[in-house]
Amino acid sequence: MSSQLEVTRKPEGGRPVLLCVPGTYCSPEIFDLFDVALLPDLQIVPISWMTSPGPWDIPTLGRRVASLIRELNIGPVMIAGHSTGGPIALVAALTEPSLVEGLLLVDTGANTEGHGDITSIIKAIEVGTGPEFFERLLRRSFYYQPDQALIQRLSGYADRVPREAALEVLKSQSSVDLAEDLPKLNMPAVVVHGKHDQARTLAHAELLVHHLPHAELRLLDSGHTPMVEVPEAYVEAVRRLYDLTR
Each residue of 128-184: pLDDT tens digit?
888 889 999 999 999 999 999 999 999 999 999 999 999 999 999 999 999 999 999
State the average pLDDT for the chain: 95
For residue range 97-126, what is the model confidence (pLDDT) as tens digits? Answer: 999 999 999 999 999 998 767 888 999 899
The DSSP string of 130-165 is -HHHHHHHHHHT-SSPPPHHHHHHHHHHHHHS-HHH
Can you tell me the mean pLDDT for 59-80?
97
- pLDDT band at residue 127 under the 50/70/90 scheme: confident
Q: What is the pLDDT of residue 116?
A: 65
What are 104's strand-pairing partners?
Answer: 80, 190
Domains of the chain, CATH where assigned: 17-245 (3.40.50.1820)
Q: Could you give the residue ranges of the DSSP H alpha helices within the chain?
A: 58-72, 85-95, 118-127, 131-140, 148-160, 163-175, 202-211, 226-229, 231-245
Percent of the chain with pLDDT over 70: 99
For residue 239, what are the CA distances in angstroms to 170, 178, 192, 236?
A: 30, 26, 13, 5
The CA-atom distances, in angstroms, between 19 and each of 76, 88, 175 are: 10, 12, 25
Sort strands 17-21 and 100-106 into parallel, antiparallel or unpaired.
unpaired
Q: Helix, strand, or coil here: 228?
A: helix
Q: How far apart are CA 42 and CA 140, in angstroms?
A: 30
Residue 12 to residue 139: CA distance in whole angstroms? 35
Structure-model confidence comparison of residues 12 and 219, the more confident one: 219
17-21 and 77-82: which strand pairing?
parallel
Instruction: From 83, 97, 42, select the one nearest 204 (Cα to Cα).
Output: 83
pLDDT mean over 73-87: 97
Neighbours of 195 (CB within 10 A): 12
